[in-house]
Amino acid sequence: MGGAGLERDGAVGIITIDNPPVNAMSPGLPGAILARLAEAQADDAVEAVVLRGAGKGALAGADIRSFGTPWPEGEPTLRDVIAAIELSAKPVIATLAGYWLGGGLELALSCHYRVASRKTQVGQPEVALGFPPGAGGTQRLPRLAGVEAALAMIVDGTPVDAPEAAEKGILDRVIDGDLLEGAVAFAGERIAAGPPHALARERTPELRDPDIFAATRERLERRARGQRAPLACLECVELALEVPFDEGIRRERAIFEACMASAESRALRHVFFAERAVRKVPGIGKETSVRPIESAAIVGAGTMGRGIATCFANAGISVRLMDSDSQALEHAMAGIRSEYEGRVKRGRIAAADAEDRIGLIEPIETLERVAGADLVIEAVFEEMPLKEEVFRALDAVCDEGAIIASNTSYLDVNHLADIVPRRRGNVLGMHFFSPAQVMRLLEVVRTDSATLEALASVLALAKRLGKLAVVAGVCHGFIGNRMLEGYTREVRFLLEEGASPVEIDAALTAFGMAMGPCSVADLAGLDVSWRKRKADAHLRDPAKRYSAVADRLCELGRFGQKTGAGYYRYEPGSRAPVPDPEVDALIAEVAAESGIERRAIAADEIVERCLYPLVNEGARILDEGIALRASDIDIVWINGYGFPRWRGGVMHWADEVGLDAVHATIARLDESGDHWEPAPLLSRLASEGKGFADVDRAA
């Protein structure tokens, strides 16, 4: 719960809010602050109060962990503290350092003055948790910063730094040098100047652009499809102009509470903690030694190799890029250069920085030249014999302690480790997503033999690369791609049964997927999975249903956008999918050959048929220990496959639906179709009335 202390420096009372690590407003803390405020009021020697956070000085707002459980009866709240500050006859000066976010900023906004160290960030990030600010932020911020600036900060949730906040009128002073000294000096000036000490609530919000609400609403309706919180934020800021301050505060609170109780907010809060849990790997702690990675090498300069090289360059790590095909290597280097030049043109990066980064990537033509690299990532074609050959060659040239990683999408990384027995402990998978320089997700595939040190080193590197790393065990396709197979299989079955590509894509984008599966396939190229299906044909159970829809499209040379046709047609130079009667006819033909009677299929059924296989496979992945926790699976699907964050990821969403309901549908589908056998963990949890979150809690 933390506490709050009061000291005195001359006429200035200093209240320090102390609740490690980020001084969140847990139950008990507001009461402690109120008590110190009362003491400061009662002390005649105190003429002004400085309010600050302990430790690094952050105030991260309400305690997100306490949401969802009732606030203890009779316990003061943050809003009581805010009310007390606004009644204070003595000026209160919020003294900001680190992050003052959400309720932290709202507390500061209620103070008479705000000063901050230069590196401070302030913001109202509540929208990212599925609700608008609930302690007056939407009413006070527009009164200090103006409506346009406040609206942007509240609707987008992006923090601003102290100089910008000062410019917007949120801060009264940016302090260089010792913050507390500067704050006490500022307090002295205010004491000397005397009243009035104006409060935000007494001001009138300034609106310069009367169209801002309509324009923002239109933007949100496009961008925040399906979500409530961004529009709720907008409505609250609108109230600041429309109703008196106290009514605005009351109505903001009502909207906040309704949003807080929503599935959207539960999902987003789940993701907040999932993103923090994913960094925790049993056995790895501060004491685990980590090898520094000063130089890297990448073998295979295709789509992935080139993107991965860019990731290293962006992180300032020198990297050698090797390809056995000199044309491919040249093409990769030209591609890297042109991408950086594009970023320079768009003003994203300075020309000199782009040159520096390109300079960090050295093209090399022989494998011997990877010698000396601390880490080598293999990114050659997805063929085991070829990867074996590369691993053997690497064994001969790499330094003793070098980590060797494979970017394979599906293959057995344990087997690759066995190819280099004396280096087994240093072999892992690093499964980047395409485009590697853009996608935040990285599956770190932990082989049975990888040492904790090698794993910790790769995880530390991932952080430097700005990646969100998820540890996965070895299996066919790891977490994400293994689950993807059921999803794409059902898409093909649904096409045969009567749904069109447009209907399938519409149902899933309406659900919130970033793109529909048919559009994704056209973008990624249908030929990649076609080649894989042909290679794996001998592994297929002939007794089970198989759809030839995608194969038949490929046989017509319809590989997706790159050939101008796939599930859709594309006009030259356009990425806009155009429904194609030729595809409808082909699907009808394939269905007829398989004796499938076609019918109209509702959007709800499309969603269940496509997403329940993800849940079922996710349950197996969790049960087998391939994922450390259900929430890690959520992180993979949100960050790698466009699953809506505001639905919390596949596993959280299934918990919200109720595993008994999910299980009942899967069991029903299992009676009449292939591939639907319920996962044992799903059956067990459903029968016990539990969810995947219970598995995580118990772990």
Residues catalogued as catalytic: 106, 126
Residues 46, 50, 354, 390: which binds ligand NAI (CB under 6 A)? 390
132 contributes a contact to ligand NAI by CB under 6 A? no
Name the 3-class secondary structure at 319: strand
What x/- string results for residues 337 through 376 when contact with ligand NAI is judged by CB under 6 A? ----------------------------------------
Name the 3-class secondary structure at 165: helix
Residue nearest to ligand 3HC (CB): 102
CB closer to ligand 3HC out of 190 and 652: 652
Q: Which does 62 bind (CB under 5 to 8 A by kind): ligand NAI, ligand 3HC, none?
A: ligand 3HC
HEC string of 564-624 equals CECCCECCCCCCCCECCHHHHHHHHHHHHHCCCCCCCCCHHHHHHHHHHHHHHHHHHHHHC
CB closer to ligand NAI out of 249 and 413: 413
Residues 105, 379, 427, 621: which binds ligand NAI (CB under 6 A)? 379
325 contributes a contact to ligand NAI by CB under 6 A? yes
Residues 53, 76, 182, 305: which binds ligand NAI (CB under 6 A)? 305
Instruction: Determine whether 227 is exposed, middle or buried from the number of CB atoms within 10 Å of its CB (0-12, 13-18, 19+).
Output: buried
Residues 6+ apart with CB under 8 A from 562: 525
408 contributes a contact to ligand NAI by CB under 6 A? yes
Distance CA 181, CA 203 (A): 29
Minimum Å distance from CB 112 to ligand NAI?
55
CB closer to ligand 3HC out of 262 and 318: 262
Minimum Å distance from CB 122 to ligand 3HC?
11
Residues 6+ apart with CB under 8 A from 232: 131, 132, 255, 258, 259
Q: What 8-state DSSP symbol labels residue 560?
A: B
Distance CA 405, CA 515 (A): 30
Distance CA 116, CA 112 (A): 14
254: its two tokens: 């009502």
Minimum Å distance from CB 383 to ligand NAI?
8
Minimum Å distance from CB 78 to ligand 3HC?
6
> Would you say 86 and 49 are in contact if contact means Cβ atoms under 8 Å apart?
no
Minimum Å distance from CB 392 to ligand NAI?
11
Tokens 């049993």 appear where?
282
> Would you say 643 and 650 are in contact if contact means Cβ atoms under 8 Å apart?
yes
CB closer to ligand NAI out of 141 and 379: 379
Minimum Å distance from CB 338 to ligand NAI?
17
Minimum Å distance from CB 366 to ligand NAI?
10
519: its two tokens: 């559009």
Residues 6+ apart with CB under 8 A from 517: 487, 488, 491, 504, 505, 508, 610
Q: Which does 324 bind (CB under 5 to 8 A by kind): ligand NAI, ligand 3HC, none?
A: ligand NAI
Which one of the spans 74-82, 255-263, 381-389, 533-541 is the region binding ligand NAI (CB under 6 A)? 381-389
Pick from 538, 512, 534: nearest CA to 648: 512
351: its two tokens: 């020309």
Residues 301, 462, 554, 669: which binds ligand NAI (CB under 6 A)? 301
Q: Which does 24 bind (CB under 5 to 8 A by kind): ligand 3HC, ligand NAI, none?
A: ligand 3HC
Residue at 592: amino acid letter: A
Residues 39, 119, 342, 381: which binds ligand NAI (CB under 6 A)? 381
Minimum Å distance from CB 320 to ligand 3HC?
32
Pick from 202, 213, 83: nearest CA to 144: 202
Q: Which does 134 bind (CB under 5 to 8 A by kind): ligand 3HC, ligand NAI, none?
A: ligand 3HC
Q: Cα 487 to chain center, whole Å?
A: 21
Starting at the earlier edge strand, list the strands of the sheet with 113-117. Answer: 3-9, 12-18, 48-53, 92-96, 113-117, 173-175
39 contributes a contact to ligand NAI by CB under 6 A? no
Q: Which does 407 bind (CB under 5 to 8 A by kind): ligand 3HC, ligand NAI, none?
A: ligand NAI
642 contributes a contact to ligand NAI by CB under 6 A? no
The b/e string for 472-489 (b: 16+ C-beta within 10 A; e otherwise) is: bbbbebbbbbbbbbbbbb
CB closer to ligand 3HC out of 106 and 378: 106
Taking every pair of C-alpha atoms in the chain, what is the biggest distance, in angstroms? 92
Q: Which does 119 bind (CB under 5 to 8 A by kind): ligand NAI, ligand 3HC, none?
A: none
523 contributes a contact to ligand NAI by CB under 6 A? no
Q: Which does 634 bind (CB under 5 to 8 A by kind): ligand 3HC, ligand NAI, none?
A: none
409 contributes a contact to ligand NAI by CB under 6 A? yes
Name the 3-class secondary structure at 469: strand
> Which element (helix H / strand E) includes 184?
helix 179-193
CB closer to ligand 3HC out of 96 and 679: 96
561 contributes a contact to ligand NAI by CB under 6 A? no
Pick from 573, 430, 548: nearest CA to 495: 548
Q: Which does 434 bind (CB under 5 to 8 A by kind): ligand 3HC, ligand NAI, none?
A: ligand NAI
Binding-residue total with ligand NAI (CB under 6 A): 25
Distance CA 247, CA 240 (A): 9
Residue nearest to ligand NAI (CB): 302
> Which element (helix H / strand E) includes 14?
strand 12-18
Minimum Å distance from CB 294 to ligand NAI?
23
The b/e string for 569-578 (b: 16+ C-beta within 10 A; e otherwise) is: bbeeeeeebe
Distance CA 400, CA 655 (A): 47
Minimum Å distance from CB 125 to ligand 3HC?
4
Q: Which does 382 bind (CB under 5 to 8 A by kind): ligand 3HC, ligand NAI, none?
A: ligand NAI
Q: Which does 408 bind (CB under 5 to 8 A by kind): ligand NAI, ligand 3HC, none?
A: ligand NAI
Minimum Å distance from CB 297 to ligand NAI?
11
CB closer to ligand 3HC out of 34 and 135: 135
Residues that bind ligand 3HC (CB under 6 A): 21-22, 24, 58, 60-65, 99, 101-103, 106, 125-126, 129, 133-135, 137, 276
CB closer to ligand 3HC out of 21 and 347: 21
Residues within the interface to ligand NAI (CB under 6 A): 299-305, 322-325, 328, 379-382, 386, 390, 407-409, 431-434
